[in-house]
Amino acid sequence: MLVKLTSVSKRYLIGNAWVDALKNITLSMDKGELVALTGPSGSGKSTLLNIISALDQSDSGSVLVRGVNIGTLSEHKRSVLRRRQIGIVFQSFNLMPVLTALENVIYPLVLSGVRDARSQGVQALRDVGLEKLGSLRPAQMSGGQMQRVAIARAIVAQPDIVLADEPTANLDSRTSENIMRLVENLNRDQGITFVISTHDAYITNLASRVITLCDGELVNDSAVAAVTSARQTLKRVGAQETQT
């Protein structure tokens, strides 16, 4: 079991009222899954990702990553966990504008004192098809290229799981399909588990599993029968691009 949540709840005080962001969530995720996390705005998707990634803590319940209860870890140990075992891809890319693509990718490795950070960063950029753009800064790249850099940064430490919060929300449909083809390849070829919060039906159809939240509650958790059809669409798009 890669990730296991048991009776996880989270409340926020907004103004004078308490809001239940998550209510008694129990679920688990295994290595190699490609999970779409769906639900309306305010359903708790981002809160769930933040808790799994140890960016936030639940008020009750437990979250285990490879058997370790992350709620019992110090802030320093949670930081180490994120750098080594959990990759995070943000909707707004969160790249540092003064750093090059390669420098952005290797930043978490540098913080961890990895000696061959540069060579690992080059390989991660190669994995996302940007090995020739490592010297560019974010302002010199397109939205799709910046998101690929963000994905490279998320996978550079070879994490167990990558959590992505609306990773294609700011991209056009064609670029979104390219990003998802990349995610599918990384999931299939490297066995990286992806959990992607999304409103995009295309991503939902691509996933091998859909988890749906509503008002902080888990309302659906099921395998997706349409995966084959979605993957065939990706292959057709890739073939068309190769021919042009």
Q: What is the pLDDT of residue 234?
A: 52
Share of the chain above pLDDT 70, in %: 91
Q: What is the pLDDT of residue 92?
A: 86
Q: What is the pLDDT of residue 201?
A: 87
How far apart CA 154 and CA 165 sit, in angstroms, is 12
Q: How many CB atoms are closer than 10 A to CB 98?
A: 10
Cβ neighbors of 243 (< 8 A, separation 6 or more) are none
If pLDDT is split at 50, 70 and 90, which confidence band does 240 have?
low
Is 191 within 8 Å of 33 (Cβ atoms)?
no
Is 220 within 8 Å of 163 (Cβ atoms)?
no
What DSSP line would sit under 133-201, residue for residue?
Answer: GTT--GGGS-HHHHHHHHHHHHHTT--SEEEEESTTTTS-HHHHHHHHHHHHHHHHHH--EEEEE-S-H
Is 224 within 8 Å of 207 (Cβ atoms)?
yes
Average pLDDT, the chain: 90
**Please, what are the domains in the chain?**
3-243 (3.40.50.300)
Q: What is the pLDDT of residue 91?
A: 83
Q: Taking the complete model, does pTM exceed 0.85, yes or no?
A: yes
Mean pLDDT of 192-219: 94
If pLDDT is split at 50, 70 and 90, which confidence band does 224 have?
low
Is 180 within 8 Å of 206 (Cβ atoms)?
yes
Tell me: pLDDT of 114 over 70: yes
Tell me: pLDDT of 109 over 70: yes
Is 156 within 8 Å of 105 (Cβ atoms)?
yes
Tell me: pLDDT of 226 over 50: no
Mean pLDDT of 36-45: 95
Parallel/antiparallel/unpaired status of strands 3-14 and 86-89: unpaired
Tell me: pLDDT of 46 over 90: yes
Q: What token pair was written down for 194?
A: 């992806």
